[in-house]
Structure 1
Amino acid sequence: MKIRCILLLCFVLIVGCSHSPTTIEEAMNKSNKSYDEILKTFDPDNKHTVVFYSNDNQYNVGLLKHNRQSWTWIVGTNSYIDPKQDIDWSYCNLNELSPMFVGTVNNKDIRTVVVETRKVKSKAQLIPASDGTVYWYVLLYEPQNPPMRFTGYDAQGQVVYDTGSLDE
């Protein structure tokens, strides 16, 4: 009985004295990843979390590994936001996750973004930020190759922005 109590006490002390990050924010700070706002997080599986965040006019995507009470930053990518483009986009592939398109909507009339390649046509998930910027992403199941088409629709479903046909 004494041995069990001693082992339990040692375990509690070791866990209690651990300096592992216990939140996504702590893991990002420990990895020197600064951010203005964490926009969205989701778990693609039971071991990883994808975090979308903004920082200094950039749209960033990161992949963290989590187990029990700790978080570890694995990899991240960023893209500069070009406010002159109605729909700004970037393609990224986080190493243990499917590739994705990410971007911003810079035209206030655009309410829906559709991404199309020869293999996929998908409606983007929109993420409104506190500063009024609208971010978007499309998760993919496999890598994509050009050509790519990005179409923006207004609230009535009319095309407001289109990069053109896949055949051009």
Structure 2
Amino acid sequence: MKLKMLVILLLILSLVACSSKSNTIEEAMIKANMEYSKINYIKELPIDKRALVFYENKELIGVGLLKKVNKGWEWVIGSSTSDDSKAEIQWAYSYVDESFPLVYGYIRNDEISKITLEFRVKKYDTNLIKVDNKTLFYALLDEPQNPPITIRGYNNKEEEVYNSDN
């Protein structure tokens, strides 16, 4: 009798534990009360089984950090900023975690095919991903950076066509 009760208790505990996990990134965002209208890109990171999710919500653009737990995902932290749909380049610096400072944003100029980020002593290339009528760009920084930042956009001929300092 005690063995049956123990088995039943273990089954109930395992069901409760499994039901509290989010199997997908979308489920993890909902569970964390992160409202979004669209997920634009998910970048799984090789470090510590984490992922970055770039999303939109009404007039916001955002990025979130999630970690892989057992067979699902858990929301860690995120940040968002207003989306200026008239801006040629909309960007934000996000310090979502000590290990993941990053710059991300959207390009709304089809002429731009490359973005670089220049800080006082460091320069970073960015990753570009086409999303609908704009292009997502992001760069994971190897360490936190201080202003100023200059964002430069280049066309296919490597000519500078955008400079945030101008």
TM-score by length of 1: 0.83
Aligned equivalent of 1:49: 51
Task: Indicate if the aligned counterparts of 1:47 and 1:66 stay in contact, CA closer than 8 A.
Answer: yes
1:72-151, aligned counterparts within 5 Å? 72-129=74-131, 131-151=132-152
The AA in structure 1 aligned to 2:158 is: G
SS of 1:15's partner is helix
Aligned equivalent of 2:14: 15
Identity of aligned residues (%): 34
Name structure 1 gaps, 5 residues minimum: none
The AA in structure 2 aligned to 1:113 is: I
Q: Distance in 1 between matches of 2:109 and 2:116?
A: 15
Which stretch shows the higher mean deviation, 73-82 or 40-49? 40-49
Which stretch shows the higher mean deviation, 39-48 or 69-78? 39-48
Aligned equivalent of 2:27: 26
Q: Distance in 2 between matches of 1:134 and 1:142?
A: 25
TM-score by length of 2: 0.84
Q: Which deviations, in whole Å up to 9, do the C-alpha atoms of 1:109-131 show, x marking residues without a partner?
A: 111111111232111111222x3
1:105 Cα deviation from its structure 2 partner: 0.5
Aligned equivalent of 1:163: 164
Q: Distance in 2 between matches of 1:9 and 1:46?
A: 34
Task: Indicate if the aligned counterparts of 1:119 and 1:144 stay in contact, CA closer than 8 A.
Answer: no
Task: Indicate if the aligned counterparts of 1:153 and 1:161 stay in contact, CA closer than 8 A.
Answer: yes
The AA in structure 1 aligned to 2:159 is: Q
Q: Distance in 2 between matches of 1:7 and 1:48?
A: 35
Cα RMSD after superposing both structures: 2.5
Task: Indicate if the aligned counterparts of 1:44 and 1:50 stay in contact, CA closer than 8 A.
Answer: no
1:90 Cα deviation from its structure 2 partner: 1.0
Change (3 A) 1:132 1:6: farther
Q: Distance in 1 between matches of 2:98 and 2:144?
A: 13
The AA in structure 1 aligned to 2:14 is: V
